[in-house]
Structures are given as structure tokens and as C-alpha cells.
Structure 1
Amino acid sequence: MTEQHATPVHRHEYQVPPYRVDSLELEFSLDEEETLVKSRLHICRNDGINPHEPLHLFGESMELLELSLDGKALRLGDYLLKSDGLSIALVPAQFTLEITTRLQPQLNTQLEGLYKSGGMFCTQCEAEGFRRITYFPDRPDVMSRYTTTVIADKARYPVLLSNGNPVERGDYDDGRHWVRWEDPFPKPSYLFALVAGDLACRRDTYVTTSGREVTLEIYTEHENIDKTAHAMASLKRSMRWDEEAYGLEYDLDIYMIVAVGDFNMGAMENKGLNIFNTQYVLASPDTATDTDFENVEAVIGHEYFHNWTGNRVTCRDWFQLSLKEGLTVFREQQFSAAMGSAAVKRINDVRILRNHQFPEDAGPMAHPVRPDSYIEINNFYTATVYNKGAEVIRMYHTLLGEAGFRRGVDLYFQRHDGQAVTCDDFLAAMADANNVDLSQFSLWYSQAGTPKLRVRDEYDPATQTYTLHVSQSCPPTPGQSEKKPFHLPLTVGLVDTDGKDLPLQLDGESHALDTAHRVLEIREAEQSFRFVNIPKRPRPSLLRGFSAPVELDYPYTAEDLAFLFAHDSDPFNRWEAGQRLMSDLLLEWTAKGIGKLPQPLLKAIQETLAHKALDAAFIAEAITPPTEAYLAEQMQTIDPLGIHASREALRQQLAQGLAKQWLSLYQELASDNTAYRPDGDGAGKRRLKNVALGYLSCLHSESEQTRCLEQFRQATNMTDQLAALALLADTEGEVADVALREFYERWQREPLVVDKWFRVQAMSKRSDALDRVVALIEHPAFELRNPNKVRALIGAFCQANPARFHAPDGQGYRFLADNIIALDGINPQIAARLAAPLSRWRRYDSKRQEQMKLELERILKTQKLSNDVHEIVSKSLAN
């Protein structure tokens, strides 16, 4: 490497900022060629700081025009200007600093700081984007009150938005206008936001529990405003739920959401002005699937819940990122479970965890929920911080109970409202509110890796006692070879021979608790739990509700799993039994060759289909085989083609063995003429219908291809049309090409629908999938500068189509490396996120290892490689 890359930042090096900014006034003069930003910072030295401590302000990718201290202009000799900021050596204890900078937002392809998306100005300041706007102590523990004035041409940009409440506005004689915004709540710079554009607005109101009326506004391009009704309804449901579940009311007079087409993330919780990726705001039956509707509701809720868990109480430093994200993901999960099927929501949450976070924990980028160091903070917006972090919060909830968890949250807000704090502060609130010792629980924040729980049992008919022996371990991860035992909840039930839950009484207790399950607290490397008054040997239902983010090892037989699949009262474990039944078979087939479908599995699927008491959404999940990504994690050396072949063989044999049931089920559900509603019942039935259609398509008959084509052409909603298109895209021949062409011609003016068109082709099972993806890179609708397009085409192929990405010729690896290199110069954050599939090269056979390693080395040799990509690639090669 010819360039110098950044050195790591370490958590233990944290120091209180020497200076605080009590308030600042910002003025933005927006223009097509350049934007001028004037800032006035009211700065005070913090107590106990050496008066000779220089003032350092972060800043990059902008031009400094003017700098003055207490009205006196500073010259270059009065300060030191570097590529990453400026320093002033001698400053008074209290002073005002005025800065003028010049930006070119239209050239900002990194989409951090102030940039343009189409004809709109917008910002993204988390994590370190504010330093691309003006010079500032851009760190989350510097909290200030902001007043922002936005000036722009009134004809081009009639809408001017920022944080807080609008307090003044006016017009200039030259056609420009201005709006001034005041945010009464101190906030860190990462929560600053600005939007300017010609936008339509959906407006509504919400009355809080205390009787305050809040104005709600959702902004988007004029042609999309009719797709925002679901987002508005989701926002109002989120506000009501947060009041009822946590007693938390919104605190400003106005709450705004803006939908942006070019966005690195899903959405951003800026105080009072949330900026969203369009895919999490826009939804109509014609253009959005049931999953899209669910995602809009979930992300709207997530960002709204951040108003308290992230904004009112924020992070001291970026090592504490899960303090806000893990907590808010958990709150989002609770909300979504309350709005729909709690069982299916839990299944989907765990599937995400296993498909994305477990591999992360087992790879070169493994890190604790609270990392100890980083080079580029953007690389730590990970499944570990978000999804495993949410599981850590869920374990608090399980261990302390709902009432105990609420006491802890209330104390957390009482102690820390308006502060920037740490994960330790949250743990202390939980412990103090419930008078419990959670010191061992803190290891979840400091130890990486997925713990392994090994459970063995024994039954004594003479004493009618049943004993569970539990041991835990955690494999080494980079920088952590030895692990201490975790404190975790193991939720268990015991199922009798009739499929009923037994009363649970531990040895030494006076009576059985009136509950179907018990939470066992695991604290030691080995523990035993003896249950009494058990008349016959039960079947254990272990880790109910997936009570801890662990891998469970218990020697279930196929008969045990089939029984639990049919009878377990815990929905998650019922699903889990079926998944493990299929997983065990698929892994055996992958290792030893594809065999014949066992009758017990066929019967279990058949009985699940006929179970009238189960809701359609749950049945759809239960009869779908484990993903290829999940199966890969169960193998020492991953065989992507073998896994794919085995899974396809299972689907085909289930299709043949239950052909009549699939057809009957499909016809019954397809005959339902109920008008489309994106509710749980309707979505579940559509999901089950399309799973049945998927099995029928495995019969590979002309009639089934015709059935798919008929659904594709006659569908009255995007869910059904896209499901049929995806099945057709997996087939060879002219019919698939015709359907893909028809779909694009119909929806080419809908960018989010075109993304679906890209994704369907990227995930196709066809042998020529890579060739088609390469060709689509040149398609007029594809834009490498747009993160949604990159994720839909390149990301979907490399991360969600393992059989084609890992083709033996290694061309998938070269394709990915080429695009990482090309994208790094445009948007390093997105380029780095694409690198994950190459990072785990050691898990594959020697030939694939060599091919992937060569591509990683080629990326590393690239001139002017960003810190984002350099960190991922160098760690992948080193660990």
C-alpha cells in the first residue's frame, strides 16, 4: 500500500471532551454550484481541563473561507488546518467561534454530510457526517442546542426543513426564501438534519395521552405522495404503542419524515426530522409486497422509538452504539409482534440473527456487542450491534420479567434524560431497579462469539425425577482466545406423551409453578436442574422463544423432533423442531448423497398443512426448509453447491409426495376474492398460497409453469405478481424472459419496483445467473451511485445466491471484487458492506479459498483504498 490508513480508535482511551458547545447557529445558503455554511459556536471549556488544551474541530471534504474568534478574524498562523480538521492552540475559557465553509453537495457521492438526491438537498450525519458540513467537535458526547436557518431559491426549493420547530420565515427580493428552525433539546451533531426540495406533503395530527396535539408530516416527491398513507398510519400506531407500553410521549410540536431515493441506510432518527430510504416509506398494493408493508411499519416504528432510546438519551461514544440500536431494535420487535403475529415475528427475527449475525460471530470481523476498537465506525453498523444487541436487551426482559424490565427502563430515563451515556449505565439501571446482581451479565457486552449450550438429561422412574445437565462454552474469536461463562436465560418446558406441558417443580421447591415453562438462569460452565413429580420420561422443549442467542446441542431423535413439530405449545420451538428435522436430513444428504424422503417428515408436513388451529403465516414458515445460509453455518467446510442440490431435492420430493395437497391448498387460497389488505391474516394466506405455488413449480411441468404465468398476469397485488415472477425467473426458456420483459415494461417508472426486478434476476437459480447480472450492470435503470440499486443487484447475487456466487470457476468472486473496487471511489461505506461474502474465505474448500484470497489481495492492492474497505479486507486476510 502506498497510502497511510487510519489507526484504530480504542474504547479504553476515551476522555471527556475538553470543550463543549452549549449552542450553535447555522445558516445554509443552498445553491446549484456551491453551498455556503455559516456557523456560530458558543464554546466553553469543561471543568478540570488544562487551560492550555487546544481546541480541535473535526472537518473534511470542504473549503474553509472564514474563521473568527469573538469577532476577531483568525489568520492561518493563528490555527492549524489539516485534512481531518483544524486546531486553535490558545483559546479563552468561554468564547464564540464563527466559521464559514464552502461545500459542493452535488458532487458528494459518499452520501454523508450534505448531498443531493435527485433535485433535493438532504443530509446524513450519523456517524461522522457533520464534519463534512462545518468544523465541529463531531462526537456524540458533545450535545448542543441548534438554531438553523435554511436559505434557497423558492421556486426550486419551496420546502425547507431542519430539526425542531419552525419559528420564523421570510422572502428575499431575489427569489430566495428562508426558514429558521429551533430545536429546544440538546443533541449531538450526528442527529442534525436538513432537507430542501420541491416536495409534496401528507399532513395529519396526533393527540398524545396528555392532550398535546402534534403535527405529523411526511414529505416525498409529488408523484409518490399517494404511497404514504400506510407510513402515516404506522407512525400513529407507533406513537400510541410507545405511550401504552413505555409511557413515553413525543416531545416536539411537529414530527416530520422525508423519503429520499439515495440513502446508505434504511432510515435516520434525526430529532424531529427523520430521513428515510424511500423503500421504508412508500407502499401501495400495486407496487409493494406484504413484506414491504411490514418493513415500512417496523422501520417507521424503529426511528420513532429512537426519539427516547437514542435521542433523549444518547451514546457517550460510538463504542456504545448498541445502547441505542440494540435497545431500539428490541422495542421495534415488541411493536411489530403486537401489530401482527408474534410467533412469526420471532421466527423472522431469529432467522435474521442466524443468517447474518451468527456468521459474523464466527468470522474475521467478529466483535462484541460493545466493540473495543475500530478503524472506521461505519463498519460497525453490524448485525452484532443491532440484532445480537437486541437479543441482549431481550434477555434482560426475560430474566427480570416485563414489570422488572419496565422498572429498569423508567429508572434509566429518570437518571439519564438529556445525557450521553454507556451500556454500563443501562445495565446499572436494570440492576438497581430490581435489586439484582448483573455483573456477570455484562460479559455479553465484552465477549464476542456465539455461545454453545450442550444439554443432556436423565430420568429416574423410581423417584420420578428428571434432570437437565447444562454446559456452556464459547469458541475463540479474533483477539479473544479465552471466554468466561455467560449469564443467560434458558427457557424450558417439559412435554408429556400426550403432547401436553407438564407442571414444573424444581427439587427443593414446595410446589409446582402454574406456568408452562420455566426460565433457568445459566451462570456457570456446568449446571444441573432436577425436576420432581414427573410421572413419565418427558420430551424437553429447550430454549423456548429462543430465549438466548446461542447454539443448542441436545440429542433429539427424528421421532422427538416430529413429535414436538406436531405438539409443542411454544410456537417458536414447534417451528424449530421442523427446521431441525429438515436440517439434519439436508446435512446428511449433502455429506452422503441425496436419498429418499423419510415418511415421518412427509407425514409431519402433511399434518401441519391440515392443522386448522394454526394460522396461515405460521404454517408457511413451518413447511419452508431452512435457508442455504443457515445450513452452511452447520458445516465445518461449506459445500454451497451440495447444500443447494440437497435443498432443491427436498423441495422436489415434498412437491411430489404431497402434490394433491399443494394443488388443493393453492386452489382454495387463490379462489379468495377478498380485497387486498396488508394485514396479518391476508398476508399470511398470500404467503401460504405462494409457498404452495412454489412447491407445485418444483414439479417442472408445463401446466405448473402456465399456472405461474397466469398468476403473474392476473395478480391484483405486487405480492402475488412478484412471487410468480420469482418462480418463473428460476426456469430456463422463453416464458421467463417474456415475464421479465413484461414486468419491466409495466413498472419501469417505479424505481423501487425496478429494484425488485433486479433482485429477482440476481437471486435466480438459473445456471446463467451471473451472466445476466453482469449484463444488467449496463442496463439504463442500473446506477452504481444508488445504494438501493447496488444492494438489489450486486448485493443480492453475492449475498443471497450462494450456489451461483460460489460457482467453481471463481467468476462470482472476481465479479464482486471488481465492483467493490469500482464502488470504493464512489461510496466506500456501501463498498465495504459488499465485502462480507469474501471475508469468510477460510470456511470453504482449498480451491475456493485460493480464489477468494486472491480477490481480497487484489482489492487490498488498489490505490487510494478507503479506510472502510481496507479495514474489512485486511482483517479478513489476517484473521
Structure 2
Amino acid sequence: MRTETGQVFHLKDYTPTAFEVERIDLTFELHPTETKVAARSILKRRKGAAADAPLEFDGDELTLDALRIDSIDVPDSDYDVGPDKLTVRNLPASDPFEITIETTLSPETNTQLMGLYRSSGNYCTQCEAEGFRRITYFYDRPDVLTVYTVTIIAPKDVPILLSNGNSLGTGNYDAGRHFAAWYDPHPKPSYLFALVAGDLGVITDTFITMSGREVELRIYVEHGKEERATYAMDALKRSMKWDEDAYGREYDLDIFMVVAVSDFNMGAMENKGLNVFNDKYVLADPETATDQDYANIEAIIAHEYFHNWTGNRITCRDWFQLCLKEGLTVYRDHTFSQDQRSAPVKRIAEIKTLKAHQFPEDSGPLAHPVRPATYKEINNFYTATVYEKGSEVVGMIRTIIGPAKFREGMDLYFGRHDGQAVTIEDYIACFADVSGVALDQFMLWYNQAGTPLVSASTTYDAAAKTLSVSLEQTVQPTPGQANKSPMHIPLAFALIAPDGTVTTPSPDETGHEGGVLELTKRSQTFTFSGIEERPVLSLNRGFSAPVNLQIEQSAGDLAHIARHETDGVARWQAINASATDLLIKASKVARDGGDLPSADDLADILIAATQDDSLEPAFRAQVLQLPSEADIAREIGSNIDPDAIHTARRFAFDAIARKGEALFARLSEDLPDGAYSPAAEDAGKRALAAMALSYVSAAVDTPSRAKAAYDAADNMTMLAAALQILVHQFPDAEETKEALADFENRFGDNPLVMDKWMSIQAMAPGAATSERVIELMDSPHYNAGNPNRVRALIGAFSAGNPTGFNRADGQGYRLLAKVVTETDPKNPQLAARLLTAMRSWRSLESGRQEEARRALVAIQSTEKLSTDVSDIVERTLN
């Protein structure tokens, strides 16, 4: 484990390596505690490097067994070696030369799950961001691309031996061992190296590419789980076809493999030709997976496959450019999912995720630009800002230059930079070159942290028949960035006439195509002529820019948008804004005292949309989801009392439930006919039925309906939905206790399903939940060494339960601090991720603030913190 060093890395300090690596040959002799690794590399001096430049390779907890140059042992006087670095001097004057490094590893005891480790008896690697240095001394950085040949030697009871690229063959190595050799012809950085070995089941298929090549597809899972991987295979084939159609990107190897493992720090990893997945995002069947699980599998399979071009064939010059592969690939998987399912519903889900995770990050102590200028621990920058905001930035480019030029720019990017490690500037230049649009100011989206606030107002002049739209932008100060420059903000818009007609005219002062207002100054006014009657402005349609929007609009204007907008996302935004306004007012009353405001008008809006059969069920389900308690807290911004927010939201929810009881009762039973299908249409019907069940259960104030739905459910989606209603609305009812016991009895041998059981309980609102979480930590279903189990219980509690976690006496904070400090020595990356739940502690009321501060100080005072955790706690406290 790398402990606190205090070293800070700066973008401005980037320098290339002194040597290039022409190829590397790796040989692994696998053993649970004594795996031997021989790395033979061919190097040459980079042009311009000093003749006496030493070779400096990275390492992490390594022990050097042998070091040879051109087959000759290197004298002790010519090198310095430690666990984290190897420096070699007096190198051969002629190029190229060969260096061989031998190390010994213990995969069995590698609890960090970085480098080479064992999961359920199988060998696996995870090398992003800096895991390869835990295998051998090497240039463990993304700008060193080379060709890999890998030989894996293992006992014959380890039958599956996999690595990147195409197979070179297999055979017997000696009496008790066999081998497999792999060759990847595409130069790649070390973070994309992968090895998997074990006894696994497999399903196979083929895909015919656009040029007519046949690609073999394999998905490896634990034996007995093969049938649960069929949806992942279907999603993979659809992803491959979509990338050909949407971007002209064809797969480039003879085989594509996915391996599902149960111990994994991330969702998945895009290693070239050999993707390694958390089994949560591969395994599914109707009895054990929800509709959301199916959608996640589809999206993440696509994401990792799309990395083949945006991340693998073209990679990052350095880790500061991480958004170049992640933000871009998230954008690609988002648009894929929008094409596969309902585009507006998927877009709404993306907006909700962005606001729930990235907006708080942007407004707190962990704020950083999409491309950070400094970092202490790169693992801590796999964030919502890099991924989700990075995706939004790509979408804004498309909005500014248009779909056709965006595709042309992507084609240029693929053609110009294939096989290279590049920067954000390289990427943006492609779009500027094809469109002729200056994007210098737009680069601020990559270099400035913080969520811009756009204030908007309209003035209608009936005599002149003109409408003026005034916009002003503010970007709040963030750590290290006090004075911000105005951003280039594209705001899609429409004008909705009194009769409901929707138009997208061009402002008088621009010759641009209508539909987008480009805000580039601190403040600007746009004027529209020939407007016969005062329209209502619908601004930031489709959420075209990731900004906070403050607009002077009446409740009547919002209702007009909600009734007539043809853009589904904008329609939802209007309804959501109405709900947010009411819930903020109610929360402040609940905190300060007084009569809570009526929810009748909001109920009317929601009920009207819900009973509109012309709207797809999935959209109506989204409409019924009131802003979450975290959403309300974010909008309030300071002096937050989570209990008051919960009271206000529950009051509004119950009022809507009572007013729409008959409608909700009918919709709760309107489920798809026939056998279960994860298809979007059926999933939408189930989503609406589940939301309606939640409301009607509140209206009748009895667990009977939810328990009946639980008993009748023939799929995990409705079973989990009914269980959540019972646990969250009727925690002490006998029906709830029966359902929890039944669920455990039926699925106790399936860890992924029991994750749902733990998460549902961990997110039950109320102060008492922290005690239940402590009890569940002693449950046989909880495993502190498995990231999925820890995230399902502790992560769900700390990040998804505002009232339970933010308990006034600080018990929730102390519990998290205990788990973080206990996890850190074994898995620093997991511990640091959990700790980010504390990022918004300063926005709480003073009593909770003090309890949170004490917990953070306790973590900081722990001896030998990892760099991962010390970095997060330091920034969170500052």
C-alpha cells in the first residue's frame, strides 16, 4: 500500500520519458503466493534525450529478483532499487537494447485488488490507473505505448489462461503445467494490460463486422452462471453494431472477451480485447435482476466496448487528460442507451445522476476541473466531474457545431490520432478544424471547476412585438480558483405561444440557426421580433448545458411548459421545478415552524401528467418521482436540516397520494402481459406500476397492498420495489418483517441479490437505521473484504440515506469513519470512495457540522493513512 507521501503532481510539469519501449514480452508462472514474473523489454532512447539519461521505472511494493541488460546481470553499482522505483545507470550506448526484470508476487494476499490478485480462486488483474507497477518495474504511465506478448504458465487445474490480443496458441509446459501465449498487435499503455486465469464457464457467439470479418465473442463467468450472461452478450453485439453505424468504428481483433469477477473495485475495465467486469454488471435473469440492473449491464457493456477506440486505440497522454477517454466514452454510451431505449427518459436519468453526484462535487471541497491541473492520488479523480460532466462537455460541442460537424470532427479525431496518446487540445482542435468555430473560450469547461449559475429574465413589448431575453452567468469560486472567466454556454430554447405552439426562432442579433442561445459574455440580451403575443420561454431544453438555471417564471408559466413542451426533458424540468419550489418552502417551514404549504397545485400537475396515456409509462414514472431529499438539500445550499427536508417531502408525497389514490390504485396493477422482458416498453410499465404502488400504499397507510404485491411478484423488479415500500414506509409492520425474512430465505445464497436486501434496509429513512446497519455488518451476507458488499451496505447508508447518516448525534459519521479506517489498510481505493460521502458536510446546520468535523479529524489523525484516503480527508477538511 502506498502511504502518505505529500507528493503533488502538476499538469505543467509533464515531460516525456527518456526511453521508448518498442515491445515487452511478459512471462507469468502463476502461483497463489509466489507468482514469478519475467518482463523482457526492448528500449531505445527517445530523440533528444540525454546520452547519460538513466532509466527510471515505477514500482509498488515490489521485490526485485533479477535484473539483466542484453542477457548480462547488471552490477549492483549501476542501479538503485526500492519497492516503488528502479533506476538504472550506465546503459548501453547503442539502440535498441534489452532489459529483463524478474519479480515475485503474492496474488492471494493482494487485498488492494490492484495489480495481479485472486478473486474466488481465479487470477485477475486491474492495472488502471497505476496497477501495472505492482506486477513489474515499468513505465506505468499512459503515454508509453508498446506491443505486448504474454505467456502464461499455470497448473493444469487452472484451465483458462487469457490475456490481451489474439491467441498464439496453447500447450503443455511440463508434466503438471500448461501454457497459453497471446499477442496484441496494437500498441497500448500498461494500464490496459490484462491477465485472467482460472476455472471458468463461458458462453460464445460471433459478430460479423462491417467489412465482413468474423469476430469470436466470449463471456467468462463462474460455472453455473452461464445463462445469466446471455443479456450481456446481446448487449455486446448491439454495441458493436451501433458503434459501426454511429461512428464508423469497426472492431480490430479476432476475438473479444469479457470476464466477470466478484471482487472488483470498479464497475468494469476496458483492457484491450479482454474486458474485466464486476459480475454485478454481467449477470442477470428475471428472478435475480431488476430492470435497472439490465439497463446498467447494457450501458456498461457498451461503455467498455466503446473504449476500444476512445481510450484504447487513442489514449491519454497523461492522467490529467482522463476525461478525454472517460467523458467522451460516457457520452457515447449515453447516446447508445438513448437509442436503445426512450431518449427523453434516459436523458432525464442522466440529468438526475449529474445533479445528485456531480453538482455537489462541484460546489464542495472536492471540486476540481474536468481536466484537473494537479493531483495527489490519481485514483481519487475517477469522479462524477471527469465522467458525467466530461460527457456533458462533449454534448455541448455537438450542440454548438451541430450533429453533422460533430460526426465529421470525430472522424477526423479517429483518423488523425489513431495509435497516439493525446491531449484535450488535440481533441478540441479536430472540431475547430472541421467547423471553423473558435473553441478557445469553450476550453474553460475543461479548465475551470464549478457549476455556472445562469440567471434569466424576459421582457415582452406588445407594441413592438418583441421579446427580450436577458442572460447573466456567474461561476462560483472553488478551491484554487477564485476568479473565473465567463464560459461559452449553449442554451437550447423554445418559445411557447399562449395557444401552445412551440417555435425555435433565431434572435435578431445573430445569423445563427434558431434553437440555441450562445452565452459567451458575463451578460447578454437576445431580442426576437415579430412575436404577436407574449410567449413563455423554455430554456436549457434537453439540459443542453450543465448549469444551475435561475429564471423569473411564474407557476403559471411552468404549468404552461409542462402542458405544451414538445421536448420531453424540458417538460419534465418544468414539472420538477414546480415540485422543487414547493419542497424548499415546505422544508424551511418544517425547520423553522409554521403551517406547511398546500401541495394541491403540485398534485394536480403530477396527476394530470400521470393520467395522460399519450405519454410513455417510463416518462410518467419519472414525473411521479419527487425531487430526492438530497436534491432539495442541494438547492437549499446551507444550514441544512435533513429531518426537516424529510418531513416536508413526506408531507407532499402523502398529499399527492391521497388526491390521486384511485388513479394510483389502478396503475399499480397495470403490469405487462406475458413473460418477463427487460425491453424498454415493459420496463416502463413496471416503473410506473411501482411508483403508483408506493403512492397508493401511502394513501391507504397500510402495508397490505405492498405485501400483496410482494407475494404476487414474479420478477425481481416488482419484488424489490414492494420490499422497499414495506421497509421504508412500514418499518415496524409484521408484513415487513415477513417479507425481509422471506427474501433472505429465497436469495441468501446469491450475494448480488442480497446486496439489494442490505441496500434497501440501509436506505430506510430515520435515525434508527444506523443501528440496523451495525447489525447487518455482523450478518453472514456482509463481507468487509468485498467491495460490492461494502458499497451495498455502507455506501448505500452514507450516500443514500440523508436522515440516517446525518443523525444529529453523529453516529452515522462515526460509523463511516470506523469503516474507512478499517478498510484503508486493505483497500485504500474503496476506503477513499466511501469517504466522499462527507463532501457536503459544511452545508449542514451547525450541530451536524461539528459532529461531521470530529469524524473527519479522527480519520485524519489515524496513523499510516494511504495517499488515497489522506488526500480526500485533507481536501474535505480544508
SS where residue 478 of structure 2 aligns?
Answer: coil
Q: 1: CA distance between counterparts of 2:125 and 2:700?
A: 50
Q: Displacement, 1:503? A: 5.3
- Name 2:712's counterpart in structure 1: 714
- Specify the code of the residue in structure 1 equivalent to 2:688: L
Q: 1:643 aligns with which of 630, 642, 645?
A: 645
- Specify the code of the residue in structure 1 equivalent to 2:328: L
- Name 1:63's counterpart in structure 2: 63
Judge conservation of contact 1:57–1:138 (CA < 8 Å) in 2. yes
Q: 2: CA distance between counterparts of 1:826 and 1:257?
A: 27
SS where residue 798 of structure 1 aligns?
Answer: helix
Distance 1:266 1:653, change over 3 A: same
Q: Deviations over 1:578-620 (max 9, x none)?
A: 1110110010011124524343322211211221210000000
- Name 1:459's counterpart in structure 2: 460
Q: 1:728 aligns with which of 726, 729, 736?
A: 726
- Name 1:177's counterpart in structure 2: 178
Judge conservation of contact 1:269–1:307 (CA < 8 Å) in 2. yes
SS where residue 224 of structure 2 aligns?
Answer: helix
Q: Deviations over 1:718-755 (max 9, x none)?
A: 00000001111122132212211110111111111011
Judge conservation of contact 1:29–1:37 (CA < 8 Å) in 2. yes
Q: Deviations over 1:686-734 (max 9, x none)?
A: 00000000001213533xx122112212211100000001111122132
2:593 maps to 1:592: no
Judge conservation of contact 1:566–1:607 (CA < 8 Å) in 2. no
- Name 1:162's counterpart in structure 2: 163
Q: 2: CA distance between counterparts of 1:655 and 1:109?
A: 48
Q: Displacement, 1:160? A: 0.4
Judge conservation of contact 2:599–2:652 (CA < 8 Å) in 1. no
Moved over 6 A (4+): none
Q: Displacement, 1:673? A: 3.1
SS where residue 228 of structure 1 aligns?
Answer: helix
- Specify the code of the residue in structure 2 equivalent to 1:723: A
Q: Equivalences for 1:189-588 in 2 at 5 Å? A: 189-502=190-503, 504-507=505-508, 518-588=515-585
Q: 1: CA distance between counterparts of 2:104 and 2:468?
A: 71
Q: 2: CA distance between counterparts of 1:9 and 1:799?
A: 29
Which deviates the most, 588-597 or 737-746? 588-597
- Specify the code of the residue in structure 1 equivalent to 2:577: R
TM-score between both structures, scaled by the size of structure 1 = 0.97
- Name 2:692's counterpart in structure 1: 692
Q: Deviations over 1:263-306 (max 9, x none)?
A: 00000000000000001111111110000000000000000000
Q: Displacement, 1:508? A: 5.7
- Specify the code of the residue in structure 2 equivalent to 1:521: E
Q: Displacement, 1:647? A: 0.7
Which deviates the most, 815-824 or 500-509? 500-509
- Name 2:771's counterpart in structure 1: 771
Judge conservation of contact 1:29–1:35 (CA < 8 Å) in 2. yes
- Specify the code of the residue in structure 2 equivalent to 1:42: I
Which deviates the most, 853-862 or 495-504? 495-504
Q: Displacement, 1:3? A: 7.6
Q: 2:109 aligns with which of 95, 98, 107?
A: 107
- Name 1:787's counterpart in structure 2: 787
SS where residue 28 of structure 2 aligns?
Answer: strand
Q: Deviations over 1:743-789 (max 9, x none)?
A: 01111111110111111111112542111110111111211110000
SS where residue 629 of structure 1 aligns?
Answer: helix
- Specify the code of the residue in structure 2 equivalent to 1:681: E
Q: Deviations over 1:469-526 (max 9, x none)?
A: 111110000000000011121111000112221351422679x96xxx6111111111
- Name 1:95's counterpart in structure 2: 97
Q: 1:140 aligns with which of 130, 139, 142?
A: 142
Q: 2: CA distance between counterparts of 1:456 and 1:443?
A: 25
Q: Displacement, 1:94? A: 2.6
Q: 2: CA distance between counterparts of 1:503 and 1:558?
A: 22
Q: Displacement, 1:379? A: 0.1
After superposition, the CA RMSD in angstroms is 1.4
- Specify the code of the residue in structure 2 equivalent to 1:587: I
Judge conservation of contact 2:805–2:813 (CA < 8 Å) in 1. yes
Q: Displacement, 1:865? A: 0.4
Judge conservation of contact 1:466–1:530 (CA < 8 Å) in 2. yes
Gaps of 5+ in 2: none
Judge conservation of contact 1:26–1:149 (CA < 8 Å) in 2. yes
Judge conservation of contact 1:813–1:852 (CA < 8 Å) in 2. yes
Q: 2: CA distance between counterparts of 1:502 and 1:51?
A: 67
Judge conservation of contact 2:170–2:178 (CA < 8 Å) in 1. yes
Q: Deviations over 1:46-92 (max 9, x none)?
A: 00001111100111222211110111112433210123111012212
- Name 1:665's counterpart in structure 2: 667
- Specify the code of the residue in structure 2 equivalent to 1:584: D
Q: Equivalences for 1:777-816 in 2 at 5 Å? A: 777-816=777-816
SS where residue 225 of structure 2 aligns?
Answer: helix
Distance 1:317 1:5, change over 3 A: same
SS where residue 677 of structure 1 aligns?
Answer: coil
- Specify the code of the residue in structure 2 equivalent to 1:232: M
- Specify the code of the residue in structure 2 equivalent to 1:722: A
Q: 1: CA distance between counterparts of 2:762 and 2:4?
A: 36
2:26 maps to 1:29: no
- Aligned identity (percent) is 47
- Name 2:17's counterpart in structure 1: 17
Judge conservation of contact 1:729–1:736 (CA < 8 Å) in 2. yes
Judge conservation of contact 1:505–1:533 (CA < 8 Å) in 2. no
Q: 1: CA distance between counterparts of 2:503 and 2:333?
A: 33
Judge conservation of contact 1:505–1:532 (CA < 8 Å) in 2. no
Gaps of 5+ in 1: none
Aligned residues: 868
- Name 1:76's counterpart in structure 2: 76
Q: Displacement, 1:4? A: 5.3
- Name 2:762's counterpart in structure 1: 762
Judge conservation of contact 1:562–1:601 (CA < 8 Å) in 2. no
